[in-house]
Amino acid sequence: MGVALPAEFLKKLKVGESQKNDNLVVFPLLSGEREEPGYILLDEALEQGVLEVLEASSEGRVNEILVRNSSGQPVLILDGEILMGAKQNRVVNASILVGPKVELKVPVSCVEQQRWRYVSERFTESSRFSYARMRAQKSEQVSHYLESMGAFAADQHLIWDEVERKQRKMRVDSPTRAVNDVYESHEEKLRKYCDAFQALEGQVGAVVFINGRFTCLDAFDTPATLQKMYKKMVESYALDAIEIAGLEQKEVNERDVQDLLTRAATAKVSVYPSVGLGEDLRLSGDGLTGSCLTLGDRVIHLALFASENIRRERRNSPLSRPSRRTRRNHI
C-alpha cells in the first residue's frame, strides 16, 4: 500500500489557476479535505517552548542534532527547514514527525561552513526554508546513502560547494559562509515575490516553475500546514528565481502540471522506516527525484524536484555515520 500512496494522493488533487511574479510561476494544488493536522510545526513548537533543539553532544556533530519533544502532540520538522543557532546553522535532511514525549537524533547538514562555536545553547529559530536547488541535490544524496548505507545522510562537502556557488552567483559575501546571508542580502526582492503569492482556500500544495521549467512540488496532508508554511516556501522558491532572472522564459500551463503529475505517478518508490513516526518514501525516475513522509495511509509531506543528476564523484560515506537503516520495499 505504501508505494502507491504518493500517486493516489496526487490523483485526488485539483490544479488551481497559476499565480506569477516575473519568472516565478506557482500552480496551487487544491484538496476538498479539511482534516486537522494532529501535529504542530517546528516554528510553533519552538515558540511554545515544547521542543528543545540542541547539539547532539557538548562537542557537537556536524550531521546530527538532538530534539526533545515535551508536548503531547507530534512535531513535524520538514526537509529543508534551516535551524539557526548553537555551533552551526543546519538544514534538515528529511521530513520527520517527532512523536510526543520523545527524544530523537535528527540527521542534518551544515549550511554555515566557517563557524564551529556556540552562539546559543540551543537552536533558537527556523525562519527559513532551503531553496529548491539545494533541496534537490540533498534529496538525491540522501536517497543514495539510504540505498547504499541505510543512512539519512548527505554529502557535506557537496552541500558546502552548493552554498559557495549560490553566494558567488548572487554576489553575497558571508564571513561564516552562511546560506542565511544570501536570503538577508536579497530581502527586499524576496519580499516583493512573497507579496505576489497568496495561499488559496483548500490549497495543500504548490507546483513551481522558474523560467518555464519545473523546479519543485511541495504538498501536505492539510491546508492548515501549507497556510503556515507558505511564506517560507515562496521565499525559498523566489531565491532560485532571482538567481536566474533575465534568462529566456517559456510559457507554462495546466497541461505541463498534469504531465508532471503523470510522471510522478510512475516514479519508482523505495520505502524506509522514518527517523521518527511513519515511513520515508524515496521517489525517482523520468527526470524526477524526491521524498514522501507517510503515516499509515496518510501523506504528511511530499516533495518532488527536477533531478539534478549529480555526476560528481560521491564519497563512500558522509562526514560521520548515522545509525544504519534497512530498506523494506523496493519497486
pLDDT tens for 123-155 read 988 889 999 999 999 999 999 999 999 999 999
pLDDT attached to residue 308: 65
pLDDT at 293: 97
The whole-number pLDDT of residue 34 equals: 76
Q: Which of 189, 255, 242, 254 is nearest to 23 (CA)?
A: 242
> Given this model, what pLDDT does residue 322 score?
38
Burial code (b: 16+ CB inside 10 Å, e: under 16) for 55-87 equals: bbeeebbbbbbbbebebebbbbbbbbbbbbbbb
- pLDDT value of residue 144: 95
Regions of the chain short of the pLDDT cut 50: 310-317, 320-331
Give the pLDDT confidence of 236-250 residue by residue, as tens digits. 999 999 999 888 788
Tell me the pTM.
Answer: 0.90
Give the model's pLDDT for residue 309: 55
